[in-house]
Structure 1
């Protein structure tokens, strides 16, 4: 697959990372609970993601290093360096282990509709054979160390997943007038947590680290900046379009008892016939598998970057780190936590963490010794800071709401 005259870059990997079971579940619940009212939040998240991912990828291209390596090298205050690196490792590694559990669990929900597999109980642990299959498939691709194979496989799964959700959305599409009303911003106490989760499921902090590192390994010349931006924008727009399709599909069941995408599949049978289950099930399975591959990769890149280890995907430190994240994901997934709770809490936490990571990103991209003439312009900084303020305000409200409900 080509983009212009050059091979496709890391864009599909980034799209695969943020279109996971979390996206499917949160967008489904947003559609069921609020109809089309929160489409504007997805529009905002697409803009936010484009701004932040462009900066992250530009840092990777120009510095030829990941974000964490840049933080280590250019933060001069010892306490600031220790705090920053410690925060990133804690957030990305532990957070990605939780995400991996959500990815495996979400993928299992889809696979179980297509191919029911046995469930094994070991004490307090409940291991679904489908969970093990998804974990083995994800780690098998990563263990191959073949980035071309991984990228092509993720691209194929993303395309298939996109077709599945888009077909479902077209079948239940509302009038253009109703669709357009969804882009009129509405914020209140009842929808703020869902808004934060929608933004959090699209603007994934670990994607920023993943993107910068992959770009640094993929491209070496600043002349590739134009093709890099196209690669990034296309992937994000496709991902955002799929997210909106899921909201539209979920909105067709307003008022129904829907707690997951599996319920959505069953609820769509009267509208789409018996094929509804296969469309949604494949989409959820593909979302789980693709994100189950990217989350360990991102966490491993952060671990290797923090300790100065070889971060090529074939290196032993990368393979051990990726395997550890997959193992933790399988362990967390077997603890019996309800999938919707796990995924929803992870996405809200993601939205809360985002402003902290974005602040580091904006600081790095404005360091002339790192970026030279490619540092942010004044206009880019105005846009970046505006995006940061929006995510900070949404996160602050989210924290207040969660604290008030305790």
Structure 2
């Protein structure tokens, strides 16, 4: 009887989770896993503390985006269009399009390379093409409910990264020290890794996705929403759990590479396939397979979010029909943007653009747009004309402005490193 009660509670909790969980999980895409693997391989456990620091900042910004979507029943782009000048809106589109496309390309390349590791007889390019076609079919043909449910269940794939570290002997005192005591080395490489972690965890495309999905999800659930404490509480719980889940995965990926790879003298990891391959002789086939399968699973989760974010940004900007709940003939432009972004991402790999360079440029563009977007989100979330009685609390503002300051510093450092490094 007690087991049944626990099961029912867990099932009820799972049903309540939605856009927040998907947003958080999609943040751990193959390119993010590559960044966390680099951090661990190069600096061991000394960057573990970033998982704890970034969690409240991520949660605060994403909760604001979710609340904006709930109150306005529009995505972030629609709210920007209604309340800000067109140059601000077009600047966001200008920076977002190439950054998201390059991120998609890097993720497709990572999935293809890992597919080739698992099945060496098949070229990585064929895997990349196969995954692109599969994703295109899922995005266009899956009805909204099934699409959202598929993404939600794909989040479970990320649990493999919580298993991998336990397949290798750990010094848990050192792990605790790395998590709780920040260690900062003032050299360019270490600062670059910190900037990379910030850019990977607090990514602008997630702001757009969170607001739009909450707006779309709420219209599917109820014809008219009366916002009360319970709805806001459920919203916050969903976002907090999603961001916590994202950061736990981040923590365990850094932990895996920071113990297995770093302790074995393997410090140069540029891609996810290199990380997976390096794990094999050190932690065994089980760790290697789980890590590799996790990359493919996270790609299948994150790329639709990237494509969807871009589709919503473009179609809301120009007032075109949009929505994952619509069929292709009802929102052709929406699905065409998703298709074009996937094809462009794939073409990057075919014509030989390095995934590492793509990630670098997307990080730069994200780094430049994130502080501006966070400032706008803070302004919207505190604007009574837009939010009515649902403006930011004091706690939200403190965390939001902390994120703004950190992302602004990160952007300045990123620019400095590109000019003077």
TM-score by length of 2: 0.88
Query: Residues 103 and 287 of structure 1 are in contact (CA less than 8 Å); yes or no, is this contact kept in structure 2?
Result: no
Distance 1:116 1:271, change over 3 A: closer
Number of aligned positions between the proteins: 392
Corresponding residue to 1:308 among 319, 323, 328: 319
Corresponding residue to 1:339 among 355, 361, 379: 355
Corresponding residue to 1:95 among 85, 96, 99: 99
- Between stretches 54-63 and 190-199, larger displacement belongs to 190-199
Query: Residues 196 and 394 of structure 1 are in contact (CA less than 8 Å); yes or no, is this contact kept in structure 2?
Result: yes
Distance 2:45 2:364 in 1: 20
Task: Quote the residue 1:123 is aligned against.
Answer: none
Per-residue CA distance 1:299-330 (angstroms, 9 max, x = gap): 00001110112222222221111111111111
Query: Residues 299 and 322 of structure 1 are in contact (CA less than 8 Å); yes or no, is this contact kept in structure 2?
Result: yes
Secondary structure of the residue that 1:191 maps to in structure 2? helix
Instruction: Verify: 1:129 aligned to 2:134, yes or no.
Output: no
Q: Which residues of 2 match residues 107-118 of structure 1 at below 5 A?
A: 107-116=111-120, 118=122
Instruction: Verify: 1:232 aligned to 2:248, yes or no.
Output: no
**Larger relative helix fraction:** 2
Distance 2:25 2:303 in 1: 9
Distance 2:198 2:12 in 1: 28
Per-residue CA distance 1:30-81 (angstroms, 9 max, x = gap): 0000111111222222222101100000000011111111111112xxxxx1
Query: Residues 10 and 211 of structure 1 are in contact (CA less than 8 Å); yes or no, is this contact kept in structure 2?
Result: yes
Task: Quote the residue 2:208 is aligned against.
Answer: 209
How far is the alpha carbon of 1:145 from its aligned partner? Answer: 4.3
Distance 1:357 1:346 in 2: 16
Instruction: Verify: 1:53 aligned to 2:62, yes or no.
Output: yes
Distance 1:179 1:10, change over 3 A: same
Task: Quote the residue 2:74 is aligned against.
Answer: 65
Task: Quote the residue 2:193 is aligned against.
Answer: 194
Distance 1:229 1:2, change over 3 A: farther
Distance 1:308 1:230, change over 3 A: same
Distance 1:118 1:273, change over 3 A: closer
Task: Quote the residue 1:246 is aligned against.
Answer: 253
Task: Quote the residue 1:122 is aligned against.
Answer: none
Distance 1:394 1:340, change over 3 A: same
RMSD: 2.0
Distance 2:234 2:395 in 1: 21
Distance 1:193 1:69, change over 3 A: same
Corresponding residue to 1:74 among 80, 83, 99: 83
Instruction: Verify: 1:34 aligned to 2:30, yes or no.
Output: no
Distance 1:375 1:32, change over 3 A: same
Q: List runs of 5+ in structure 1 lacking aligned partners.
A: 76-80, 120-126
Task: Quote the residue 2:147 is aligned against.
Answer: 150
Task: Quote the residue 1:159 is aligned against.
Answer: 156
How far is the alpha carbon of 1:212 from its aligned partner? Answer: 0.4
Secondary structure of the residue that 1:268 maps to in structure 2? helix
Task: Quote the residue 1:350 is aligned against.
Answer: 366
Task: Quote the residue 2:20 is aligned against.
Answer: 11
Query: Residues 96 and 366 of structure 2 are in contact (CA less than 8 Å); yes or no, is this contact kept in structure 1?
Result: no
Query: Residues 117 and 130 of structure 1 are in contact (CA less than 8 Å); yes or no, is this contact kept in structure 2?
Result: no
Secondary structure of the residue that 1:337 maps to in structure 2? coil
Corresponding residue to 2:413 among 390, 397, 401: 397
How far is the alpha carbon of 1:148 from its aligned partner? Answer: 2.2
Task: Quote the residue 2:3 is aligned against.
Answer: none
Distance 1:19 1:381 in 2: 26
Query: Residues 21 and 152 of structure 2 are in contact (CA less than 8 Å); yes or no, is this contact kept in structure 1?
Result: yes
Query: Residues 2 and 8 of structure 1 are in contact (CA less than 8 Å); yes or no, is this contact kept in structure 2?
Result: no
Corresponding residue to 2:173 among 157, 171, 177: 177
